[in-house]
Amino acid sequence: HAIMLITHWRAFDMLEINLRVGEIVSQRKMTVSDFAERAKLNYKTAADLCKNRRDRVSLATLAAVCEALDVLPQDIFVVTKKD
């Protein structure tokens, strides 16, 4: 089990995970304020999500974002390998 955890950690270091929230909000022709209100998030959290400035997103926030934007979690994340 310890080897699997270490391997998983090393694999994570090789990935870059970005959010597409801002892109999706723009596509929906919404403002950050509209998005924040719809997702029931405070403005700063909504703005940080839109600008990809979050290191962690709780499951509750993820669910609120998905519901507000009518998307699935996989629509929000872009995962790429680091060089």
Helices (H), the chain: 2-13, 21-27, 32-39, 43-50, 59-69, 73-76
Chain centroid offset of residue 62 CA: 7
> Within the chain, which residues score under 70 in pLDDT?
1-12
Res 12: pLDDT: 59
Res 11: pLDDT: 55
Q: How far is 83 from 72, CA to CA, in rounded Å?
A: 28
pTM for the complete prediction? 0.79
Q: How far is 60 from 68, CA to CA, in rounded Å?
A: 12
Q: What is the DSSP letter of 14?
A: T
